[in-house]
Amino acid sequence: MGQVYNGQAAKGILFYLIGLTGYAASLLIAVSSLPPPSNIFLPLVTGIIFGLYILFDSILTTRRIGDSYRPKPYNRGYVYLSAIFLSSVLIQPSLKAFGLQAFKIPSAGMSPTLKIGDHILVRKYSYGIRNPFTAKCIGWCKWPDRGDSIVFIFPEDRSKDFIQRVIAVAGDSVEIRTKKVLINGKAINDPHASFEESQTSSLAPANQDDYGPETIPANHLFVLGDNRNRSYDSRFWGFINLDDVRGKAFVIYWSWDSHNSSVRWDRIGQRIQ
C-alpha cells in the first residue's frame, strides 16, 4: 500500500503478489532440499528481509518525492478499502484453501510421529484443487496413498480437524488381529505403529486390538493414529469421505513442550513421514 500511495502502483502490486506466493514457494523448495531446521528458518529470514526492503523502499521514495508529490487518480480511499476487501475476503482465503495451512497437534494419537505441541504445515493441493466453499474437486482429484498422514474434517464433529494415517482406500478389505493390520488378507508393513500409553485425557475411550474385516466403500478411507493404544480413529467411528480430506501433512515448523516450557529445537523442520 505504501508503494501504491507513492504512485508506484505496479511495484506495489508486484510486491504484494511476491509476498503472497514467494514465501510459500521458497518454503516448499527449502523443505525438500535443505536439512532441518534451516529448511524452515532460511525462508523465514528471507521473508523478513524482503518485508523490510518493501518498508524502507516506501519510506525512501516518500522522502525523495517530498512536497512535489501529486496524488494519482487511484489514490482514493475507496480504492484502498476495495483492495483490502479483495485481499482479506477473496484472495487470501482462496490461497489458503488451495495452498498451505497450519495446524497444531493437541493430542498424543499420532505419537511418536507427532507430539503434543507440534505445529505442522499441510499441503491443501496434494490431492487436487477444491472449491473453497463446497470442498468439491475442481477438475481433478487424487486419492491419498496408503501411509500418508492426512488432515481431515472429523466426522463426529465437523468443527474439528483430525490428523491420522491412511491405512486402506476404497475397495480394500481391512482387518486387525491382535494389533496387526491386514489389508486384503495380508499383513502390512506398519513401521509407524506404536502402542505407548499416555496420561493425556480426551484420547481414545478404549483400545480395539481386533477389528473387521470390513470393506472400504467407494470414495472413502480408513485411517488410524500411529499410537494405536490412544487413538480415536476409524476403528471406533468408521470411514472418512474423500471430500473431507483437507490435505497432506508434510513438515513440523514449530514445536513447544508445554510440560517443560521449552522449544523442541530438534523437531523444527522435521519432515512428516
- Could you tell me whether strands 128-130 and 118-123 are parallel, antiparallel, or unpaired per DSSP bridges? unpaired
- pLDDT tens for residues 131-180? 766 667 777 778 899 999 999 999 999 999 999 999 999 999 999 999 99
pTM: 0.86
Of residues 197 and 262, the one with the higher pLDDT is 262
- pLDDT tens for residues 115-133? 999 999 999 888 887 776 6
- pLDDT tens for residues 249-271? 999 999 999 999 999 999 999 99
